[in-house]
Chains A and B, each alone.
Chain A
Amino acid sequence: MSQTISERIISKHANQAVSAGDIAIVDVDAVMATDATAPFAIKAFKEMGGEKVWNKEKVFLVIDHASPAPNERVANLHKLMRNFAKEQGIKLYDVGAGICHQLMVENAHVRPGDLFLGADSHTPTYGSLGSFAVGVGSTDLAGVLLTGKTWLKVPKSILINIEGEIPAGVSAKDIILFLVEKMGAEGAVYEAIELSGSAVESMTLASRMVLSNMVAEMGAKAGLVNTKGLKLDYPFEHQLVDPNANYREIFTYDISNIRPQIAQPHAPDNVLPIDKIIGKKVDAAFIGSCTNSRLEDLHIAAEILRGRKVAVRLLIAPASKAIFDTALQDGTIQTLTEAGATFITSGCGPCVGTHLGVPGDDEVVISSTNRNFQGRMGNPRAGVFLASPAVVAAAAVAGEIIDPEKL
């Protein structure tokens, strides 16, 4: 019988055939928690009577949300994580290593066909390589630390075919913003999204990660990208979309003629094509987050900023130290700093509003991140516009939203 990718992966991990709507107890391949969620998870694990985690090779902790620690309270939570990692013998990525989602993929802690649980809502990012990866809270995660298992409801799936050739100046970010607008913030609540189509097949892993990252903004539980055309530097089993599977709905979009897209405050689905917002003044720009701060994003920004100067403050937080190091070697960092960009620690940075780069009242920020809820960057009186790295870099130079091609 035809199954969706989610049904196939969950069936394998439940040791029985399941379909949408079933409740299954599943074996979990690996888990991840950050400094925003690990402290509560550790507390809950101890309260459950936990002594040793079920498998120390399969638990990953990352300090990225408020890193380096901005105050003593956070410093003590980081310390708690370090102590727990040491006592349990588990891998901890400390200050500066990078953003949790980048690190899990970069270090192959998650692989195609895996069932992965992350205590962060953008865990679906790993659907980019055909993993059923879902976000959970701290207590759910603690349950896995104790038992290696969790329960879940097999989601219904929606298939989105993205067809056509990607136009010049348009990136995966524009495509996903376009889709978030079409689907809406509640477009896929409790459901999984599978992404397929000719436009996807030609994409790099980094671009595929942008797509699956932002399925969270449609309320989806997981976002699996058809692995056709995917290249990884280790052998893997492809996770392919089966169009005959039982999808709740199938959408097909031709993206051959779309323009760069921008989400306006205060919702990621409040999206317009760039042409409708040209000339909007900005006070600050940010290139970072698990959505858009990988090498290809820094390269695009450097191309736009080469030989130019920024008109407003531009912060850049590369997704990982490995990316920073490569960009340092290939000259990208120099190009960007010469243009006036300021580099900050690899980690979440201003994305989440707990430290670093909080905007002032009535200030407007253009950002390559995935969320612009009111208060998201730490100030409810600021407005955040979401866009691709190209559009953010161009706005930093012009001091206003501008078509990068017209700079």
Chain B
Amino acid sequence: MNITGKAHVYLVDNIDTDRIIPGKYTKTLDISSLAEHVLEDLDPDFSTTVRNGDLLVAGSNFGCGSSREQAPIALKAAGVSAVVAKSFARIFFRNAINIGLLVIEAPEHQIQNGASLSIDLENGLVESDGQTWAATKMPQVMMDILNAGGLVNLLKKDGGYNK
């Protein structure tokens, strides 16, 4: 799986789920209303400047805090195709894969804001401005879920976990 797009870089650590989508907006099943408020306490302009297919780039422990799946859903609904961070909080990472949002851990990255960014998932590489950084490879279970387009599709198809 390969993805290329423009990078929106917020080199901040510990961007928590309240900053990805404040709790007050999460009580809904309406996905487009989540997209409108995504990251608004961090950057009020994000939801209007992000374009379909762009990538979000952050520091370490991205997505810490609550278990709200609305956080990755809001990012995906806003058009974000993948998130690259130095590290992720565990629940956010699982949630993102489960709903089919690509997340990649690249501990050493120095991606610049606005640059074009490419991800090579199979080989665990992240590339931008002629520089390449190693990314953590994903376990097979997670690749299966991503390849199916999320956990819903995987379980719908197979009715259970393959082993």
Confirm or deny: A149 has a beta carbon within 8 angstroms of a beta carbon on chain B: yes
Contact A219 B160 (CB under 8 A): no
Confirm or deny: B141 has a beta carbon within 8 angstroms of a beta carbon on chain A: yes
A328 to chain B, nearest CB (A): 30
Confirm or deny: A221 has a beta carbon within 8 angstroms of a beta carbon on chain B: yes
Contact residue among B22, B26, B99 (Cβ-Cβ distance under 8 Å from A36): B26
Nearest B residue to A155, CB-CB: B90
Confirm or deny: A375 has a beta carbon within 8 angstroms of a beta carbon on chain B: yes
Q: Tell me the residues in window 354-395 of chain A with beta carbons closer than 8 Å to chain B beta carbons.
A: 354, 371, 373-376, 378, 380
Confirm or deny: A25 has a beta carbon within 8 angstroms of a beta carbon on chain B: yes
Confirm or deny: A20 has a beta carbon within 8 angstroms of a beta carbon on chain B: no
Q: Tell me the residues in window 134-162 of chain B with beta carbons closer than 8 Å to chain A beta carbons.
A: 139-141, 150-152, 155-156, 159-161
Contact B67 A48 (CB under 8 A): no
Q: Tell me the residues in window 37-73 of chain A with beta carbons closer than 8 Å to chain B beta carbons.
A: 37, 39-40, 43-44, 47-49, 65-66, 73
Contact B68 A36 (CB under 8 A): yes
Contact B24 A353 (CB under 8 A): yes
| CB contact under 8 A between A140 and B151, given known A77-B29, A135-B91, A219-B89 | yes
Confirm or deny: B61 has a beta carbon within 8 angstroms of a beta carbon on chain A: yes
Confirm or deny: B23 has a beta carbon within 8 angstroms of a beta carbon on chain A: yes
| CB contact under 8 A between A147 and B14, given known A137-B67, A186-B60, A189-B89 | no
Bound Cα distance from A380 to B18, whole angstroms? 10
| CB contact under 8 A between A151 and B95, given known A36-B27, A37-B68, A186-B87 | no
Taking residues whose C-beta sits less than 8 angstroms from the other chain, chain A's interface range is 35 or more
A193 to chain B, nearest CB (A): 13
Contact A373 B67 (CB under 8 A): no
Contact B160 A147 (CB under 8 A): yes
Confirm or deny: A228 has a beta carbon within 8 angstroms of a beta carbon on chain B: no
Q: Per-position contact with A for B90-123: 1 when CB-CB < 8 Å, else 0? A: 1100110011000000000000000000000000
| CB contact under 8 A between A44 and B152, given known A140-B98, A186-B61 | yes
| CB contact under 8 A between A73 and B27, given known A135-B67, A137-B69, A139-B151 | yes
Contact B156 A48 (CB under 8 A): yes
Confirm or deny: B6 has a beta carbon within 8 angstroms of a beta carbon on chain A: no
A382 to chain B, nearest CB (A): 12
| CB contact under 8 A between A190 and B90, given known A138-B69, A139-B151, A149-B161 | yes
Contact residue among B19, B140, B152 (Cβ-Cβ distance under 8 Å from A142): B152
| CB contact under 8 A between A185 and B14, given known A142-B152, A354-B23 | yes
Contact B14 A267 (CB under 8 A): yes
Confirm or deny: B65 has a beta carbon within 8 angstroms of a beta carbon on chain A: yes
Q: Tell me the residues in window 177-236 of chain A with beta carbons closer than 8 Å to chain B beta carbons.
A: 185-186, 189-190, 219, 221
Contact B156 A185 (CB under 8 A): no
Nearest B residue to A47, CB-CB: B152
| Top 6 A-B residue pairs of the complex, sorted by shortest distance between their CB atoms | A137-B95, A137-B69, A139-B98, A121-B67, A138-B69, A48-B155
Chain B contact residues, CB within 8 Å of chain A: 13-14, 16, 18-19, 22-24, 26-29, 41, 60-61, 64-70, 73, 87, 89-91, 94-95, 98-99, 139-141, 150-152, 155-156, 159-161, 163
Give 15 A-B pairs besides A44-B151, A139-B95 with Cβ atoms closer than 8 angstroms.
A23-B140, A35-B27, A39-B29, A40-B73, A121-B91, A136-B95, A140-B95, A149-B161, A185-B61, A186-B60, A189-B89, A371-B65, A375-B18, A376-B18, A378-B22
